[in-house]
Chains A and B, each alone.
Chain A
Amino acid sequence: MEKRVQFRSTWLPWVLLAPQLIVIGVFFFWPAGQALLQSFQLQDAFGVSTEWVGMDNFKTLFNDPGYLASFKTTAVFSVLVAGLGIGLSLMLAIFADRIIKGALFYKTLLIVPYAVAPAVAGVLWVFMFSPSLGVLAYALGKLGINWNYLLNSVDAMTLIVIAAVWKQISYNFLFFLAGLQSIPKSLIEAAAIDGARPWRRFWTIQLPLLSPTTFYLFVINVVYAFFDTFAIVDSTTHGGPGQDTSILVYKVYYDGFKALDLGGSAAQSVVLMIIVISLTVAQFRYVEKKVQY
């Protein structure tokens, strides 16, 4: 008694898989393969002359103290973006979930930032925080805080973290809200009858039941912080002051598209790819075990 549906055809599964395979092939394996190839080459901008240089591009990278420092910068940035992004949006989702009047209005407002392009998000925050002209910089000045992201590294990091988190909150919020709404009301009510206060109910019921969502968002947010944030840095700090906000992906973008050093940029994207793949594997191997589905 075989219960599984069996396909006798040898070609049908492939045909059904083809669209997905083509998409992955064209948008991931092809460019990734090209990056790998180019990371071993030294090429002029127009591709007129190409030279195979072996590991030279990688050696140059790892001999550059600025590049090594940018690992630390990226780690700090990613932890802050993922941590704050998830924390804040979870809080907002819980509030939005409890609200009765005007829920749609609040939800819509919270979702809007997701439609904003990263570069635009960066510019928006730069306007508000510009040391000379910004509204928020002016308000901070009135409070006696000398805000200057142009020369103060902490201020600069704060600025890009705020812009990156603000941009991502909507996405996280949507998932958390959906997650919260799929938790059966009876569980919460039962706990309430047993005398659990909202805070206790959140810790012992909602948060554990949200763990698959949280885990998914954690992976997504880390990937977002690693890859999607170069436009924010490019439109705000340009990696400064010094190199203190020069995260890895910004340097990939800058060296490749602005400075036209394709070999160096490709080598960096290979390094970045390795980091993200190993991070994702680690997340699935170790963190996922703690997730209750």
Chain B
Amino acid sequence: MKLKFAAVAVAAAFSLSAQAQTEIQWWHSMTAVNGEWINDLAKDFNASQSKYKIVPTYKGSYDESLAAGIAAYRAGNAPHILQVFEVGTATMMASKGAIVPVGKIMQDAGEKFDTKVYIPAVGSYYTDSKGQMQSFPFNSSTTVFYYNKDAFKAAGLNPDKPPTTWPEVTLAAAKLKASGNKCPFTTAWQTWVQLESFSAWHNVEYATKSNGMSGMDARLKVDSPLHLRHFENLSNMAKQGLFVYKGRQSVPEASFIAGECAMMSTSSGFYGNAAKNAKFAFGVATLPYYPDVPGAPQNTVIGGASLWVMAGKKAEEYKGIAQFFTFISRPEVQSASHKRTGYLPVTLAAFDLTEKSGYYKQNPGTDVAPNQMIKKVTGNSRGLRLGNLPQIRAVEDEELEQVWAGKKTPQEALDAIVKRGNELLERFQKANKS
């Protein structure tokens, strides 16, 4: 046994010196099952060729790895590839000189790269106004609606007919409450689901300038009559105990898993967790909408992250990065990733391949998210590109909590969101002038 180890070590040392592989550092934020997925992607690519070696490193949560990437860049030793969450897109894109657009990397390396193969709402999120793709769409999710089929049965609701509109959600919630349910409906990621995705889903502006896609001087528009109507509706539901606030970001998901909340809107990426841990039958449905709004439902916006290539590296290294991106763009790799992680298939080919394999039939509900996304996007639904978006989301959380606590009316809260959010947008615009 010892001999074998020694032999392997010698062989490894030999091959290292003989081939002088080019190492490519990849910093990411994937943990547990998804962390293994990242390592396998790197392993498969490294085995497929011998010139380059992808070295994935976990650098903490999304905001931690972004902060780490920025600190490393300032110190002059940034990684080659940095995984950045979707709300950091504007920050990355505004940092001209710190990053190299993916479109350019692929072109320089002579790799075939067509941005049209991406699901529109995914591709457009990471493409600049001139049509250049800035970062590589990697793990994307979107907002969907989960419901507890057992609770539906107990309340006399049809478990195979989830509510599709907000009036139907209210009715279902009332029936659930009448059957003794203490938390008929809750929402995780209230800022992403009820404001960002809600706007795209109803084809209304979240912010001017196509939600910031066509200019940094965008300003928030979430005080529209439709937004007001939605939050008055939710606020009334909260007063009647039909909607129960369970916290910011993904915190409410635990209440659904525990069987406490019967309906919940959250990320499509929650599917794997629910499938593994929920001790009841659950269903996945499209996000509810208001049926009288023209153009609804449109498409929802994505969450998740993309891969950014940092500037200042050697040409040879960029070549390796391009080859790696081509490798993980292959439909079979993408389809396998989609099935494994529950993230969206980011290309249409991967979606078709997954459908042909019969996966969606075997796992009902997994096709809801892709179907919600595969649509021609409008200026209101392409995505968001707003500076200081993490801070804007924090402001939204703060103001909405005042509504749920009954301290502010929906009108006051939305006005405050627009006012405070616009100050943050102005500040970002000023800091990123050049």
Contacts and interface: CB of A to CB of B under 8 A. Distances in A.
Given A151-B405, A240-B401, A260-B70, A49 B434 contact: yes
Contact of B402 (A48, A239, A241): A241
Interface stretch (B288-296, B328-336, B392-400): B392-400
B97 interface: yes
B223 interface: no
Contacts of B399: 242
B405 A49 contact: no
Interface string B252-277: 00110010100000000000000000
Interface string A26-60: 00000000000000001111111101010000001
A122 interface: no
B258 A133 contact: yes
Interface in A43-88: 43-49, 51, 53, 60, 64, 66
Given A49-B434, A150-B247, A241-B401, A261 B427 contact: yes
Contacts of B73: 46-47
A258 interface: yes
A41 to B, nearest CB: 9
A259 interface: yes
Contact of B248 (A53, A153, A238, A255): A238
B391 interface: yes
Contacts of A151: 245, 401, 404-405
Contact of A48 (B63, B66, B96, B260): B96
B430 A42 contact: yes
A151 B260 CA distance: 18
B277 to A, nearest CB: 13
B131 to A, nearest CB: 23
B424 to A, nearest CB: 9
Contacts of A260: 66-67, 70, 91
B433 A132 contact: no
Interface in B18-69: 63, 66-67
A242 B76 CA distance: 39
A48 B98 contact: yes
A48 B91 CA distance: 12
Contact of B254 (A43, A46, A133): A133
A239 B405 CA distance: 15
Contacts of A131: 246
A255 to B, nearest CB: 7
Given A60-B427, A151-B404, A258-B390, A132 B258 contact: yes
B353 interface: no
A213 B81 CA distance: 53
A224 to B, nearest CB: 24
B224 interface: no
If over half of A's interface residues share one DSSP class (helix, strand or loop), that class is named, otherwise mixed; here it is loop
A158 to B, nearest CB: 16
Interface in B338-354: none
B326 interface: no
A150 B245 contact: yes
A38 to B, nearest CB: 12
B95 interface: yes
B94 interface: yes
B107 interface: no
The interface centre, meaning the residue of A45, A51, A60 with most chain B CB atoms within 10 A of its CB, is: A45
Contact of B94 (A44, A66, A133, A258): A44
A118 interface: no
B70 A46 contact: yes
The interface centre, meaning the residue of B255, B260, B431 with most chain A CB atoms within 10 A of its CB, is: B431
A257 B63 contact: yes
A152 B98 CA distance: 43
A239 B91 CA distance: 24
B427 A46 contact: no
Contacts of B433: 49, 51
B405 A241 contact: yes
B388 interface: yes
Given A48-B95, A257-B67, A260-B91, A43 B431 contact: yes
6 contacts: A44-B432, A47-B74, A64-B423, A150-B401, A242-B407, A259-B391
